[in-house]
């Protein structure tokens, strides 16, 4: 019985979307995207602004309801589930615009994620500060993203770069099966970005996970990505190994314009 | 021990700590420190409104939910006790049954309201609570054969809790010790316990999630918290505590009526207490309720005296006339919101 279950799990990709579509009025923002993502793979999602990259993310993590299609996590349909439920099943999402708990401390932001993950029940009558294990885990995550020194700071007082790091920290704290990064280094200074990119490279080494990365910077894609998919007008325009996709003339001229030219 | 009682949530300001200790000592010793019917009445009202304001702060300050039905839940508890003793007779069992029934009814009603309206936008919840609260207030005044209508209900509580009960022939610490004082300590200790329980709840893992939802419900959902479930639980809890406060009030007053428990005026009072004291701080409810109830009870006297004292001057005695106390309370409120937007507690914690 057990081996059978394992077998069915093994035969499925970690995450797949099938004809995933969403329409806003007459506008088709994501158009029948069928794509599978395997464990241990980092897929860069590229395309011009408005191509539907973030919307595609929103459909997978549940912030937007799909008009048609399917999303399966380890073979299980998750499209009908709430955002919170999908998160519990292992869909983790970091946001393009910083989206934190601004009046709480850095540590508390991470601790809340850890609590969501490791604390069962509502916990009405125990003291939050007595759950030392949760705090220890949160501190370990902050250590990893080099934010440990700022643990006590209120988030709204952090620099933009540090807020971006915290955004990544929340995702790492969640420890999901599917990591979705939406331009993780946007607006970061040249010396701050490597910290985040190194972290993503570290995560990549973990073969149980799959990483989806929306990114514009070609040098980042070149160093990190195992695979590139190109979205254009909501539809899948290209899918393949980085060198292959970047070399294809169609992609170069029609879809990426100048963005793909060497920086 | 103190840290445990306060759930690790210290006042974090020397002045605030001092104020809280003064309030605690005054309330604990009220029958002996301020003998007299009126001051005991004021002390009991302060105790009860601290709990009521704190339970409202659990919603407004910690969860960011605006409700206008808080007096309805307060009233449910009070009417629970009134109906319990009216129908089950004069006993502690009847009081307990009424209290429990009131709290359960409040939690159940809050659950229904929450289920229907907390899924959608926050403003919708506020409107629903307003509608339900008005409907219940009308219902209570109309169903006079059950609720006593506008006249309310008077009932008899166990003799041990009434002024007629005199356990000692001689005076104790200079005052005549009656059942009313036992009743006061019932009020004081139940309110103290309820406040500490709420302080624990807001510092629990659950309380932390409420604050996260208040800050950013979108992200709270995205990290795996079922936001509706947390909001509904907070609403039920807050309603149940408000009902318990109402039950205590009913035991203290030996009377319930629409004006004392259900009126919209009380709703506004609670709102002012929480805002003046400082939202999302629990201790704010203590400060806010104390200031407010004291002002309500003594501002009139103070102003009367001031008016007397200045009777030779033009205009000023008019302004200070005791009938103008509400106007001054309004001025006090506007000034406090203007100068302490984070409330007294927020101001004290920020320092300087």
Strands (E), A27-136: 27-37, 41-46, 68-73, 76-77, 91-93
| Residue pointed to by tokens 């695979």 | A227
Q: Which CATH architecture best describes the domain A91-175?
A: 3-Layer(aba) Sandwich (3.40)
Q: How confident is residue A254, by pLDDT bands cut at 50, 70 and 90? A: low
Alpha carbon separation from B201 to A44, A112, B70, B254 (Å, rounded): 44, 16, 18, 30
Q: Does A23 touch chain B (CB under 8 A)?
A: no
Q: How confident is residue B119, by pLDDT bands cut at 50, 70 and 90? A: confident
Position B102 scores a pLDDT of 96
Inter-helix orientation angle B179-202/B37-57, to 10°: 20
Query: Is the pLDDT at A248 greater than 80, yes or no?
Result: no
Domains A1-87+179-184+212-263 and A91-175 share a fold: yes
Query: Is the pLDDT at A128 greater than 80, yes or no?
Result: yes
pLDDT tens-digit series, residues B280-338? 999 999 999 999 999 888 888 888 788 788 888 877 777 777 777 778 878 878 888 88
Q: Which residues of A touch B201 (CB under 8 A)?
A: 124-125
Q: Nearest-CA distance from B226 to chain A in Å? A: 6
Q: Which residues of B touch A99 (CB under 8 A)?
A: 216, 218-219, 222
Percent of chain B with pLDDT over 90: 65
Q: Does A123 touch chain B (CB under 8 A)?
A: yes
Name the DSSP letter for residue B121: -
pLDDT tens-digit series, residues A70-126? 999 999 999 999 999 999 999 999 998 879 999 999 999 999 999 998 888 778 888
Contact B8 A125 (CB under 8 A): no
What ipTM was estimated for this complex?
0.86
How many helices and strands, by DSSP H and E, does chain A display? 10, 10
Tokens standing for residue A65? 């309801």
Per-residue b or e along A150-172, where b marks 16 or more CB atoms closer than 10 Å to that residue's CB: bbeeebeebeebbbbbbbbbbbb
Tell the burial category of A225 from Cβ atoms under 10 Å away from its Cβ (0-12, 13-18, 19+).
buried
Q: How many Å apart are CA B125 and CA B9, to the nearest integer?
A: 30
Q: How confident is residue A263, by pLDDT bands cut at 50, 70 and 90? A: very low
Q: Give me the residue spans of the domains in chain A.
A: 1-87+179-184+212-263, 91-175
Position A185 scores a pLDDT of 87
Q: Does B221 touch chain A (CB under 8 A)?
A: yes
Mean pLDDT of A136-158: 94
Residues recorded for chain B: 352
Mean pLDDT of chain A: 88
Q: How many Å apart are CA B47 and CA B290, to the nearest integer?
A: 8
Contact B216 A101 (CB under 8 A): yes
CATH fold label, A1-87+179-184+212-263: Rossmann fold (3.40.50)
Query: Is the pLDDT at B58 greater than 80, yes or no?
Result: yes
The β-bridge relationship of strands A210-214 and A178-182 is parallel
The β-bridge relationship of strands A227-232 and A41-46 is parallel
Tokens standing for residue A230? 């190109």
Q: Does residue B172 or residue A84 have the better pLDDT?
A: A84
pLDDT tens-digit series, residues B6-33? 888 888 899 999 999 999 999 999 999 9
Q: Which CATH architecture best describes the domain B2-350?
A: Orthogonal Bundle (1.10)
List CB contacts of B352: < 8 A, sequence separation 6 or more.
Answer: none
| A215 touches A193 (CB < 8 A) | no
């Amino acid at each position: 019985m057990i081996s059978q279950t394992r077998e069915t799990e093994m035969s499925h990709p970690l995450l797949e979307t099938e004809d995933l579509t969403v329409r806003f009025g007459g506008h088709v923002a994501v158009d029948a995207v069928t794509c599978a993502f395997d464990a241990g793979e980092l897929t860069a999602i590229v395309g011009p602004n408005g191509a539907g990259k973030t919307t595609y993310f929103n459909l997978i993590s549940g912030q937007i309801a799909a008009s048609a299609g399917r999303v399966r996590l380890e073979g299980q349909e998750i499209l009908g589930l709430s955002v919170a439920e999908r998160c519990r099943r292992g869909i983790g999402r970091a946001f393009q615009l910083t989206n934190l708990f601004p009046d709480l401390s850095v540590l508390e932001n991470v601790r809340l994620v850890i609590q969501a993950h490791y604390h069962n029940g509502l916990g009405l009558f125990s003291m939050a500060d007595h759950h030392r294990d949760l705090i220890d885990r949160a501190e370990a995550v902050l250590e990893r993203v080099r934010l440990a020194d700022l643990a006590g700071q209120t988030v709204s007082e952090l620099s933009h770069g540090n807020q971006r790091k915290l955004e990544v920290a929340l995702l790492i704290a969640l420890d999901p099966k599917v990591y979705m990064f939406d331009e993780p280094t946007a607006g970061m200074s040249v010396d701050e970005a490597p910290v985040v990119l190194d972290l993503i490279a570290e995560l990549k080494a973990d073969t149980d996970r799959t990483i989806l990365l929306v990114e514009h910077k070609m040098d980042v894609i070149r160093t990190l990505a195992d695979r590139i998919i190109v979205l254009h007008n909501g539809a899948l325009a290209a899918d393949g190994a980085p060198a292959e996709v970047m070399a294809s003339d169609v992609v170069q001229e029609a879809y990426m314009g100048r963005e793909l030219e060497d920086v | 021990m103190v840290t445990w009682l306060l759930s690790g949530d210290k006042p974090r300001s020397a002045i605030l700590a001092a104020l809280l200790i003064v309030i605690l000592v005054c309330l604990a010793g009220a029958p002996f420190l301020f003998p007299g019917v009126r001051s005991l009445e004021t002390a009991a009202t302060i105790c009860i409104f601290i709990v009521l304001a704190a339970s409202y702060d659990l919603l407004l300050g910690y969860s960011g939910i605006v409700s206008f039905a808080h007096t309805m839940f307060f009233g449910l508890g009070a009417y629970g006790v009134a109906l319990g003793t009216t129908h089950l007779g004069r006993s502690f069992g009847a009081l307990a049954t009424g209290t429990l029934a009131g709290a359960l009814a409040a939690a159940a009603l809050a659950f229904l309201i929450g289920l229907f309206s907390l899924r959608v936008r926050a403003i919708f919840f506020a409107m629903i609570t307003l509608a339900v609260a008005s409907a219940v207030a009308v219902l209570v005044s109309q169903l006079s054969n059950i609720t006593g209508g506008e006249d309310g209900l008077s009932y008899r509580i166990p003799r041990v809790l009434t002024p007629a009960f005199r356990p000692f022939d001689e005076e104790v610490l200079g005052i005549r010790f009656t059942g009313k004082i036992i009743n006061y300590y019932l009020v004081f200790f139940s309110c103290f316990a309820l406040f500490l329980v709420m302080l624990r709840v807001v510092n629990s893992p659950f309380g932390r999630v409420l604050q996260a939802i208040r800050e950013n419900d979108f992200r709270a959902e995205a990290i795996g918290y079922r936001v509706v479930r947390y909001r509904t639980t907070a609403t039920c809890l807050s309603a149940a505590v408000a009902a318990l406060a109402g039950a205590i009030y009913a035991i203290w007053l030996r009377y319930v009526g629409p004006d004392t428990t259900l009126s919209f005026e009380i709703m506004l009072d609670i709102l002012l207490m929480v805002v003046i004291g400082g939202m999302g701080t629990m201790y704010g409810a203590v400060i806010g309720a104390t200031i407010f109830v004291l002002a309500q009870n003594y501002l009139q006297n103070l102003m009367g005296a001031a008016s007397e004292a200045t009777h030779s001057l033009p205009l000023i005695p008019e302004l200070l006339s005791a009938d103008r106390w509400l106007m001054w309370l309004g001025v006090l409120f506007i000034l406090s919101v203007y100068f302490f937007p984070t409330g007294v507690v927020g101001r004290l914690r920020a320092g300087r």
